């Protein structure tokens, strides 16, 4: 019933798009095949639609093709669809961008300029004052493949807290769901990314406080599949930058705390190879 209530207020077009996000089935629209824009599932389906539909509209105007937003029910499914090359335009985390380039030849385009951090949050009235206080406790996570989860686990290890030894984790699927586990009392703390924290509903954010954070990490990255022509990739780059300079784009950047766009190079991706290898090993273990 909760899922139905979440969608019930959406216009028909947005409801249809949310369903596409979940099932990942492309519509058959004849010869004028739309471009698929894959947004990795760091937000709920509704948040993805609300956040990225204005951007997709601008891309349609520049590319003169429909742009349909897709995601997946979890990170593992999204990574597999990326490996299969299902997305023409890809927005994903930097370690998964490394895998996308290695496995399917995706080409880096731009990233959000503002670095992201992993945040460890507890309830606003929680007695916990330092990470060590979470020894023996349960921490909710968005998805074990999220780079902020890996970075936060490394941060906790530096404090002498070992995963599955000194604390347990609860996979909650999304950043918002992880936070809600804390608010409901099902978990003692939650891990989430800075951007997702900025996008928490206004009634939710005051109910948690930040206990610890990671050093800055490169933010989400846009990539293009090699089947897109170089000219299309350059048009896409221009469209993204023009969107960032528009009133709607400035509101988008401010709301998410993205800080505009910046270039990505291969050296930056290589720095995330250890996290990418860790993610691949986790995926292999589940097969």
Is it the case that residue 175 has pLDDT exceeding 60? Answer: yes
- Among 38-52, 94-108, 206-220, 238-252, the least confident range: 38-52
Q: Please give the average per-residue pLDDT across 123-145, as a whole number.
A: 95
pLDDT, residue 31, reads 36
Q: Provide the pairing of β-strand 67-70 with 35-39.
A: parallel
Interatomic CA distance for residues 20 and 106, integer angstroms:
22
Reported as a single tens digit per residue, the pLDDT across 150-168 is 999 999 999 899 999 999 9
Is it the case that residue 247 has pLDDT exceeding 80? Answer: yes
pTM: 0.81
Kindly report each contact of residues 151-158 with a partner whose C-beta sits within 8 Å and lies 24 or more positions away, as own/partner.
151/118, 151/214, 151/215, 151/217, 151/275, 152/118, 152/119, 152/120, 152/191, 152/212, 152/214, 154/214, 155/118, 155/120, 155/131, 155/212, 155/214, 156/120, 156/131, 156/212
Q: Please give the average per-residue pLDDT across 44-71, as a whole number.
A: 92
More confident residue, 285 or 31: 285
All structural domains of the chain, each given as residue ranges with its CATH number in brackets, are 2-115+218-286 (3.40.190.10), 118-213 (3.40.190.10)
């Amino acid at each position: 019933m909760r899922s139905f209530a979440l969608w019930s207020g959406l216009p028909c077009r947005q409801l249809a798009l949310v369903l596409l996000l979940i099932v990942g089935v492309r519509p058959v629209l004849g010869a004028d095949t739309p471009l698929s824009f894959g947004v990795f599932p760091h937000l709920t389906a509704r948040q993805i639609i609300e956040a990225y539909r204005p951007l997709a509209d601008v891309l349609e105007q520049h590319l003169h093709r429909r742009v349909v937003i897709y995601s997946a029910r979890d990170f593992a499914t999204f990574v597999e669809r990326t490996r299969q090359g299902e997305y023409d335009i890809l927005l994903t985390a930097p370690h998964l961008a490394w895998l996308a380039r290695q496995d399917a030849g995706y080409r880096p385009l731009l990233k959000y300029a503002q670095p992201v951090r992993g945040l460890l949050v507890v309830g606003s009235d929680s007695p916990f004052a330092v990470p060590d206080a979470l020894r023996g406790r349960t921490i909710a996570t968005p998805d074990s493949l999220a780079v902020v989860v890996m970075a936060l686990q490394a941060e906790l290890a530096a404090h002498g807290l070992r995963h599955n030894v000194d604390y347990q984790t609860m996979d909650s699927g999304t950043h918002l769901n992880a936070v809600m586990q804390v608010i409901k009392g099902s978990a003692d703390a939650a891990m989430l990314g800075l951007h997702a924290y900025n996008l928490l509903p206004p009634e939710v954010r005051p109910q948690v406080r930040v206990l610890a954070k990671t050093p800055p990490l490169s933010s989400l990255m846009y990539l293009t599949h090699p089947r897109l022509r170089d000219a299309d990739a350059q048009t896409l780059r221009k469209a993204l930058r023009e969107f960032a300079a528009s009133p709607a784009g400035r509101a988008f950047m401010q709301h998410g705390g993205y800080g505009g766009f910046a270039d990505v190079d291969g050296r930056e991706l290589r720095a995330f190879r250890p996290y990418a290898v860790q993610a691949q090993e986790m995926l292999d273990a589940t097969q």
